[in-house]
Amino acid sequence: MAKVLVTGATGFVGSALVPALAAAGHRVVRAVRTDPAPGDLTVPDLCKWSPSSRELAGLDCIVHLAARTHVMDESVADSLARYRALNVEATLKLARAAVDCGVRRFVFMSSVKVNGERTFERPFTEQDAPRPEDAYGISKWEAEQALREAAAGSRMDVAVLRPPLIYGPGVKGNFLRLLRAVARGMPLPLASVRNRRSLLYLGNLVDTIVSCIDHPAAAGKTYLVADGADVSTPGLIRAIAGALSKPARLVPFPPPLLKAAAALLGKTETAARLIGSLQVDASCIRRELGWRPRCSLAQGLGQTAEWYYRQRAAEPRS
């Protein structure tokens, strides 16, 4: 079994990945900011970290999850340098150190935003030319290219994963806000939306990462990965409502008016995600790695709903 370093080990994906790797028999080293357990690496700031040969000694694989994540409605001009500092420069520094220390594989968590923000007539594939539009997507694409260059001619190979929206226990951001809105019975003016979006359940992503650690076919590859059951926004809301045992309070409203209202409120990007389509074709990773999603949308939403009710019950009463 492999000795695996996981950055971002205490985050949304990392917290689920670390126990899965241990259950698969791998030796896991977590890179954490604070409160290290025995065997962990304490890295308060990845941007300032210069990995030493002692810290990376004996590693077979690095799973690099740590990143400056997407911030809604943030302009490229104001934020690209900040995204590059962690997502590109710190990633490249770690990769170069990994090459020097003989690490065999570097698994990089990228994003479907490298491909673009929306699809129209067909899903994205790995063969499509990258067209990132925001600072986050640009930094992820630059990091992918930098990793390939750093690994060229070495014994280390790179495997890149580009997921769409990830959901599951511990989810934050817009998906958590949508869970709360449905749980509270808020009317949502999205019944008239006709779109298709790909999703990825956290447990299915974890299975993918575990496969990429030692599967020979993953060497040097970039994979789009998704559950495979694309859903419309109103369809997702109905599915969430069913998982929460709540009614779906969907109200008809013309999508062009939704876009106009969102623009007035400074929520253009949020509206684009709710109204537009973003589909990915994950057939390549299924074919080459034999990967299949373990959980369906209904199962994944069911586990997410259970987590939501548990964490809500644990909140202090005011």
Whole-number Å distance between alpha carbons of 97 and 99: 5
pLDDT at 203 > cutoff 90? yes
Which amino acid is it at 158?
A: V
pLDDT at 53: 93
pLDDT at 103: 97
Q: Report in angstroms the alpha-carbon separations of 283 from 2, 78, 130, 209.
A: 27, 37, 18, 16
3 state DSSP class of 70: coil
Statement: 3-166+201-226+281-286 belongs to CATH 3.40.50.850: no
Active site includes 136? yes
Query: What sign for the dihedral angle of Cα 256, 258, 262, 267?
Result: negative
Contact, 85 vs 50, CB < 8 A?
no
pLDDT at 74 > cutoff 70? no
pLDDT band for position 249 (cuts 50, 70, 90): very high
Percentage of residues in the chain with pLDDT exceeding 70? 97
Q: Is residue 142 classed exposed, middle or buried when 0-12, 13-18 and 19+ CB atoms within 10 A define those classes? A: buried
pLDDT at 76: 52
From 193, 281, 203, select the one nearest 236 (Cα to Cα): 193
Mean pLDDT across 193-207: 97
Strands 199-201 and 165-167: parallel
pTM for this entry:
0.93
Mean pLDDT across 60-79: 76
- Quote the mean pLDDT of the chain: 93
Whole-number Å distance between alpha carbons of 187 and 79: 34
pLDDT at 314: 82
pLDDT band for position 95 (cuts 50, 70, 90): very high
pLDDT band for position 261 (cuts 50, 70, 90): confident
Residues near 16 by beta carbon (within 8 Å), at least 6 away in sequence: 168, 169, 170, 202, 203, 206
Tell which wins on pLDDT, 40 or 70.
40
Give the chain's radius of gyration (CA, Å). 20
pLDDT at 184 > cutoff 90? yes
Q: List pLDDT tens digits, range 279-288.
A: 999 999 999 9
Q: List pLDDT tens digits, range 135-167.
A: 999 999 999 999 999 999 999 999 999 999 999
| Catalytic entry in 136, 167, 201, 223 | 136
Domain boundaries, the chain: 3-166+201-226+281-286
Whole-number Å distance between alpha carbons of 22 and 210: 10
Q: List pLDDT tens digits, range 30-51.
A: 999 999 999 999 999 999 999 9
